[in-house]
Structure 1
Amino acid sequence: MTQSDTTSSAQGPQGRPTVLLTGPTSGIGEAAFQQLLEHPSRPSIVLLGRDRDRLESAASRARSLGLTAHAVIADLADLDSVDGAVEVVRGMVTSGDIPPIDVAVLNAGLQRSDRHGTSTQGYELTFAVNVLAQHALLRGIEEALGPRAHVVLMGSSTHRGKRASFGLVPDPQWAAPDELATPATGPRPGTREPGGTAYATSKLALVTLSHDWAERLGASGRRLNVYDPGLVAGTGLGREMRPYEYWVWRRVMPALSLLPGATTRRRTARHLVSLALGDTHASLRDGYVEIGRVTRAEAITFDPARRRDLWQWCEEALRNHTSRQRT
């Protein structure tokens, strides 16, 4: 079924869904934004990103096509910035400037070459952006979601291990959440493996977290699913590679898109937007979709103990953050 053959199941009162998209100015997010611009439902778009100029440029482009678009600054490496962004979004909904959010695509993420980076609040940067900030965003926008809203989190085949990433990313290494959120110390490594491990582990954690969010939102009639974009070489995720590696990543590796499990930005964005807007898999809840195909997340992500520990840690981190803000 093509987009033009059906009407989105996630729609606002006038049949035009309100879509929130993070990371819309580069990589898969930029391609998803383009798909939204072309979608027949003519969505209203709320764009969250950290680059003000590029964000405003994207919003202006949407407006030039007759769409309603809002640009909201959000740096996922800073919980204060996340709080500010969700306050703006909630305010727009409360004031009636926008309808409640019908679709939220939390696409933005981070991959680094090591574990030495820190967020503004001192957490290991990859875990802070890919896990804690996603939880904070969901917590923040939850009350602004429409009654049939659909949330899509950006997963990754790396959560399955090295075998699922063409051997490009190391296996995830699970540990207690507090340990995963603690930056490395000492000399920086001479290889990119620690950063790859941190990325794979953060995606494993996000998929683990997704099941509790799916249950929480499902209790009020909303849906949450995880989208796995497949291997999309050439995106900004490789920006911290050594120059020659980055050149190969940008110029040579995209040829892998011909292989099963790999794809292009445009192709994966088309599947992502179709899933998000309900053109495909409109009744799916707590699902895992790989480049348009429904599969199943790794069994370990359903482990009750891991789920409990991770949810409690995220909740405690947000409570501590709120307490520090008040003192």
Structure 2
Amino acid sequence: MTQTVVTSPTVLLTGFTSGIGARMLEELLEHPSRPSLVLLARGAADLEDALERARATGLVAMGALADLGDLGSVRTALEQIHAAQERGAVRPVDVVLLNAGAQFTSGRRAGAQGHELTFAVNVIAQHLLLRGLEPLLAAGAHAVLLGSSTHRGKKASFNLVPDPQWRDPEDLARPEPPADGPVRSADERGKGGVAYASSKLALVTLAHDWAERLAASGHRLNTYDPGLVAGTGLGRDMPASRYWVWKHVMPAMSVLPGASTPRSTARHAVRLALGDAHGALNGGYVEIGRVTRAEAATFAADRRERLWAWLEGAVRDHLPTYAASEGSR
């Protein structure tokens, strides 16, 4: 597959309000291709501020509110983008950069549809976004999903996050039951860490099928692993003392192999997304700018088939009206 040259691409970005995503937005605002932006955010004030900044630099920008913990909200955002395309306000999307994700110190939280919130945001909503965006893509479009070294196990995350635990998607999407008595905070954090690592294992698994599906229509999809990036908003659910260490002490780890800073890793991610690096790559796993390979377990056919089928059922009632309901690969 050859790289499609786009002089002024239309780029859709999620998760740009803090951390890596905020640096991604900065990279896009400064990129010489002068991209048009489609921004999705949960908060109206954050969205409006980003749109004002983009327009102040002379870029075309539109936005939509999307809470990834609520599939109905995601559907509404997708339908707004489709309507904007229909009236000619937004061109077909050339680049999809799905950066938004979530990590919590418990596995007990649930999204609007009752799914465990980490899995809802990091897997189900990502699948729905891709299903809804598929008909809105330009020829040769490129999508990038945000993976994580946590899918490889705790050693790859400097032992900060527990090992992922693959289970049937129905079980991964089920919240832990409410506590019936006092709980140890360490146990809760451990369960939250397992939920996060497991959701990233599922997302990397899902990415293989999306890369194959999009390639069939002349598009590309790759997974980007930002490495360990301490100090980002991903840790905001931590207790105050732990979050202070995360924000002010642990960023010093960025000098270690497998770690990075928000600015550096965002630059690599945007270069990948816009085709400045690895312009012909499809189905790749890119870690801080370097092409590697996802864990072998993510290629298991039985896991992939079950995950895709389950996700199709989970999003079926939330697909935008313009999107085909058929999910066969």
TM-score band w.r.t. shorter chain: over 0.9
CA distance in 2, matches of 1:178, 1:104: 27
CA distance in 1, matches of 2:5, 2:279: 12
The AA in structure 1 aligned to 2:300 is D
* Aligned partners of 1:11 and 1:18 also within 8 Å: no
* Aligned partners of 1:19 and 1:101 also within 8 Å: yes
CA distance in 2, matches of 1:189, 1:93: 50
Is 1:244 paired with 2:241?
yes
CA distance in 2, matches of 1:292, 1:135: 24
Q: Percent identity?
A: 61
CA distance in 2, matches of 1:220, 1:296: 24
Select the residue among 180, 190, 193 that pairs with 2:185. Answer: 190
Runs of 4+ aligned structure 1 residues displaced above 6 Å come to: none
Give the SS at the match of 1:300: helix
Question: 1:155 matched to which residue of 2?
Answer: 147
The AA in structure 2 aligned to 1:308 is E
> What is the CA deviation profile of residues 196-253 of structure 1, one whole-angstrom value per residue up to 9, with x for unaligned ones?
0000000000000001100000001100000000000000111111111111100000
Offset of residue 92 of structure 1: 1.4
* Aligned partners of 2:69 and 2:117 also within 8 Å: yes
Question: 2:86 matched to which residue of 1?
Answer: 94
CA distance in 1, matches of 2:89, 2:317: 32
The aligned runs of 1:26-37 (5 Å cut-off) are 26-37=18-29
The aligned runs of 1:254-269 (5 Å cut-off) are 254-269=251-266
TM-score, length-scaled by structure 2: 0.93
* Aligned partners of 1:224 and 1:285 also within 8 Å: yes
Question: 2:307 matched to which residue of 1?
Answer: 310
Is 1:63 paired with 2:55?
yes
CA distance in 2, matches of 1:310, 1:60: 39
Question: 1:5 matched to which residue of 2?
Answer: none
The AA in structure 2 aligned to 1:285 is N
* Aligned partners of 1:10 and 1:277 also within 8 Å: no
* Aligned partners of 2:21 and 2:100 also within 8 Å: yes
Question: 1:85 matched to which residue of 2?
Answer: 77
The AA in structure 2 aligned to 1:173 is Q
> What is the CA deviation profile of residues 237-293 of structure 1, one whole-angstrom value per residue up to 9, with x for unaligned ones?
111111111111000000000010001000000000000000000000000000000
* 305-314 or 84-93: bigger deviation: 84-93
Offset of residue 184 of structure 1: 0.5
Structure 1 residue runs of 5 or longer lacking an equivalent are: 1-8, 323-327
* Aligned partners of 1:16 and 1:44 also within 8 Å: yes
Question: 1:146 matched to which residue of 2?
Answer: 138
Offset of residue 320 of structure 1: 4.6
> What is the CA deviation profile of residues 58-116 of structure 1, one whole-angstrom value per residue up to 9, with x for unaligned ones?
11001001111111100000010000000011111222111100000000000000111
Question: 2:209 matched to which residue of 1?
Answer: 212
* Aligned partners of 1:207 and 1:226 also within 8 Å: yes
The AA in structure 2 aligned to 1:17 is P
* Aligned partners of 1:225 and 1:284 also within 8 Å: yes
Is 1:234 paired with 2:226?
no
Paired residues in the alignment total 314
